[in-house]
Structure 1
Amino acid sequence: MTLRVLGSGAGGGFPQWNCNCVQCTAVRAGSPHHRARTQSSIAVGGPDDWLLVNASPDILTQLQRSPALQPARAVRDTGIAAVLLCDGQIDHSTGLYMLRERGTPLPLWTTRPAFEDLSQGNPILRVLSHYCGVDWNELPIDGTSFSVPGVAGLRLTAMPLDSKPAPYSPHRERPVPGDNIGLVFENLRTGGRVFYAPGLGEISPLVWETLGTVDAVMVDGTFWTDDEMIRLGFSKKTARDIGHLPQSGPGGMLDWLARLPASTRKLLIHINNTNPILDESSPERRAVEAAGVEVTFDGLELTF
């Protein structure tokens, strides 16, 4: 079973189209220490059939760079057996538009709150009804494990996370369970387990318990500091205000990851263009690597 990182950046990618921060300027200038990234998405499965987890606005580029997701078994074909969304955010759902040429309704797995946000606040699913249509399946968040038809040997368990829904959600400031989820992928043949949570605002007791039961964790790497966007003049909100746990500082992501067994593989994904860990020569990047934590990049593959 393979987990392939299609995109490792946060919303806007890296460089962000309208940003001239030090980081984005460096990658445009061809810095050898900065690697461009598309927006956060992964595919799980293989060799021919895959579950697409989050459909980013960069999905067409990501598919072109991932030949395994085009097995070419027919004149028109795709390796995407189904799509699962961790939330209803724009950077995780806009790519659904690009899959509209499908000949049959697109199998889609989301929680009910995410389904409602994408049917009302940002009605992507209603628009798709004029094209291929959607075969919606509700994600259980009560700890019940499930399988996705078409992706053999993969078992999933979803859990609610402490984070925030999209700005167009009616409960943006009053989050409800299911606005954002983490996932455990389990290979039924090998028993290998991976925890995936690109949007994570707090390590709840349930999340912490889960982190101790898996072989690898791939978690929120959006911001280095809580006040990152405020210091740079891009926002008046902290990382935690918008539903992301920063990496540094007491109680930050690195602090939590350091408590896991040394045998656990630890990776960061959904990295914002302002995060200094994107500079591979920076002290922040060296601190991450010294902690035994990896910074994901587009095309990285993990076998479990």
Structure 2
Amino acid sequence: MKHLLLLLFSVFILSCNAEKIETTKSIQSQQYITVLGTAQDGGFPHIGCQKECCANFYKGTASKQKVVSLGLIDKESQKKFLFEATPDISTQLDDLERNHLKTSTIIDGVFLTHAHIGHYAGLIYFGREALGKKNIQVFAMPKMKEYLTQNGPWSQLVDIQNIVFSDLKKDSTLTITPTLKVTPFLVPHRDEFSETVGYKVEGKNKTALFIPDINKWNLWKKNIVEEVKKIDYAFLDATFLKDGEINRPMSEVPHPFIEETVSLFQNEPTEVKNKVIFIHFNHTNPALQPNSKERKALEKLGFRVASEGDRYNL
């Protein structure tokens, strides 16, 4: 009798666990953001880098890190979108197809932030030398559209309609599926060829900010801490950990150091810090590496660090 009771109890526990797993699967959001890349424009390993960080890749002790990109999935509407057209676009689009949502269209739209190489150079693979597909929708601000239209080789994509534009306006919300909205907003950056925007993404239940590039938080008209409090996730510029990280004047490539961002949030509760997801890491930034002490220290403080494959339900 004792053995029978133990057997029944074991079956009960197993069935409860099975039910719990099944319920967890059933409540997974049909809308979510997935991280497709985390590195700054030059990627990791970086061209010309002879430092230990990149040497570790060639030794086989560090993994390649793709250039910063997010995928936006809406399975209810059977649509998927890409934020940034990076030099790694081929494998990033394959990731979306293979691991998230396979449809008859390789992508339903690409949102661009600005005209620095890691954020638009991948568009070239839509051209006749590579994919050669027609009418891929590109969401771009006015100066970004003008730059692509008037300068080769990008202009050829426009001329033969590999890409078609959906015009964006600052602070104007675009409904891209019945329950997904995207709003671009201007941020200060090195705007040599185009303006620079971040994006707010609104899903059924949650919202996110995506600001991979900005000069300094105090140059923005908005308060980043207050903006983060209003949303659920904030993918923020984490190019450099601290001053002196690279062997050239860092004023030439201004970004908010992670140390500066952490300082702005130091007096906020954990639930606010936990909304911050650092992304867009230079190859020299030790927080790019999964097991670094710097990354662990950030996570211990309550912040999050983006990794390829992460999902954030909307």
TM range (shorter): 0.7 to 0.9
Q: CA RMSD in A?
A: 2.2
The one-letter code matched in structure 2 to 1:180 is T
Task: Give, in whole Å, the separation in 2 of the partners of 1:46 and 1:84.
Answer: 15
Task: Give, in whole Å, the separation in 1 of the partners of 2:41 and 2:252.
Answer: 16
Task: Give, in whole Å, the separation in 2 of the partners of 1:296 and 1:22.
Answer: 22
What residue number does 1:135 align with? 164
- 1:129 is paired with a residue whose SS is helix
Task: Give, in whole Å, the separation in 1 of the partners of 2:268 and 2:108.
Answer: 33
Q: Unaligned regions of 5+ residues in structure 2, if any?
A: 1-30
What residue number does 1:81 align with? 108
Cα offset, 1:71, TM superposition? 1.5
1:122-147 superposed Cα distances (whole Å, 9 cap, x missing partner): 53431213543332122211x22222
The one-letter code matched in structure 1 to 2:113 is C
What residue number does 1:158 align with? 184
What residue number does 1:237 align with? 249
Task: Give, in whole Å, the separation in 1 of the partners of 2:215 and 2:169.
Answer: 21
What residue number does 1:27 align with? 57
Cα offset, 1:162, TM superposition? 1.6
What residue number does 2:212 align with? 198
Cα offset, 1:110, TM superposition? 1.2
Q: Indicate the structure with greater helix content.
A: 2
Cα offset, 1:163, TM superposition? 1.4
Cα offset, 1:46, TM superposition? 2.6
Task: Give, in whole Å, the separation in 1 of the partners of 2:268 and 2:162.
Answer: 43
Task: Give, in whole Å, the separation in 1 of the partners of 2:270 and 2:86.
Answer: 32
> Whose Rg is larger?
2
Q: 1:156 to 1:129 in 2, by over 3 A?
A: closer
- From 25, 35, 39, the equivalent of 1:9 is 39
Is 1:41 aligned with 2:52?
A: no
Q: 1:92 to 1:259 in 2, by over 3 A?
A: farther
Tell me, yes or no, if the aligned pair for 2:126 and 2:162 is still in contact at 8 Å. no
Q: 1:69 to 1:94 in 2, by over 3 A?
A: farther
Cα offset, 1:72, TM superposition? 4.3
Tell me, yes or no, if the aligned pair for 2:133 and 2:162 is still in contact at 8 Å. no
Between the two proteins, the alignment pairs up a number of residues equal to: 273
Q: 1:257 to 1:96 in 2, by over 3 A?
A: farther
- From 292, 297, 302, the equivalent of 2:307 is 297
Tell me, yes or no, if the aligned pair for 1:37 and 1:297 is still in contact at 8 Å. no
Cα offset, 1:102, TM superposition? 5.4
Cα offset, 1:153, TM superposition? 1.5
TM-score, normalization by structure 1: 0.82
Q: 1:105 to 1:201 in 2, by over 3 A?
A: same
- From 264, 284, 290, the equivalent of 1:256 is 264
Is 1:210 aligned with 2:227?
A: yes
Is 1:147 aligned with 2:178?
A: no
